[in-house]
Chains A and B, each alone.
Chain A
Amino acid sequence: MHIQERHINLISLLIVLIGVSSMVFGVFRGETPVMFEKAINICLECIGIG
């Protein structure tokens, strides 16, 4: 495999890992209840009222 291609593959996998780590960090930081609270109530801004 070409060296440049191998580097791109490594970068892709590294970014996947960054994504997963970031999600896990966000969960431990307590972001999901904030998001959940918004999502389970009718979002007045989304529907054009608020």
Chain B
Amino acid sequence: MAKKINNNKNFRYSIQAFWALVTNSFLIGFVQGKIYQGKIKNVCVPGLNCYSCPGAIASCPIGSLQAVIGSYEFKWSFYVAGFLIFIGAIMGRFACGWLCPFGFIQELLYKIPFVNKIKTFKGDRAMRKLKYMFLVVFVILMPIFIVDIIGQGAPYFCKLICPAGTLEGGLPLVLMNKSLQETVGWLYAWKNLLLIITIIGSVIIYRPFCKYVCPLGAIYSLFNPISVFKYHVDKEKCNNCHACSNSCKMNVDLVKNPNDLECIRCGSCKTICPTHAIEYKCLQKTSKKD
């Protein structure tokens, strides 16, 4: 069983690493301190990956959504919203568990040994709702309503909060560009402080940014109960041993709700289930048992 669990974990890590590399495959950008300017940037990636990362070949959906919402021409992005609806309706938070580079970084950080890893705490479940507040306030409302004289709003989530932008774009670009180094100020310091908090938090808590802050996870989570790809628990096979909920690092009780908004579809529950009661489900068809 332990070997099977490790194989499943390693398989997922390989997919995450591969996808992070594909998403950031403009490797020369890291050497030159420049960003990719090709046509693929017309397309969004399903995970959170800053488009100002020197390696990024496509666009961050949260950054793009704010860019269009905050423009003076449009106050809503049907293109980006449609993309998020499409990905969410197909796979729900599977994108978080398998295709998000920043989620992968947090998982790697969680592997660093620490004396007291925190699995849950009082108020954990309530704090998960914060990500919906970040989505509505910082990603949608602020870029629409806080505008300059020509009607342009800033991408406030990127500007004030997003640690992915600081890590993937801010640090490498500022390190490699003297002109940028001369312009850094309190905002850069604030964002680096948030990045440090996220990094320390990720060593102690599993994916804290995904649990409490990520607006992309907030959007995808709404699709978990209705996505094409879902989990299904066969109640006849389930012996209520709770091995699934005990193994779940997102603290989901799969037997209660196999399509909980917090489930990132990592698959650890399916692998650990001794009775093979958990199945993948694509529309009416269920997967074959292991």
Contacts and interface: CB of A to CB of B under 8 A. Distances in A.
Is B one of A's binding partners?
yes
Given A48-B170, A49-B187, A23 B63 contact: no
Contacts of A25: 78-79, 82
A50 B226 contact: no
A49 B52 CA distance: 12
Contacts of B226: 8, 11-12, 15
Given A19-B83, A43-B155, A48 B89 contact: no
Interface residues of A, number: 39
B116 interface: no
Given A12-B89, A36-B42, A46-B165, A31 B184 contact: no
A14 to B, nearest CB: 9
B174 A47 contact: yes
A29 B71 CA distance: 14
B52 A43 contact: yes
B192 interface: yes
B74 A29 contact: yes
Interface of B: 35-37, 39, 41-42, 50-52, 59, 63-64, 67-68, 71, 73-74, 77-90, 154-155, 158-159, 162, 165-166, 169-170, 173-174, 180, 183-185, 187-188, 190-192, 223, 226-228, 283-284
26 contacts: A5-B284, A15-B89, A16-B85, A19-B84, A19-B86, A22-B78, A22-B82, A23-B82, A25-B82, A36-B39, A36-B41, A36-B59, A38-B64, A39-B41, A43-B52, A45-B158, A46-B51, A46-B155, A46-B169, A46-B170, A47-B52, A47-B180, A47-B188, A49-B170, A49-B185, A49-B187
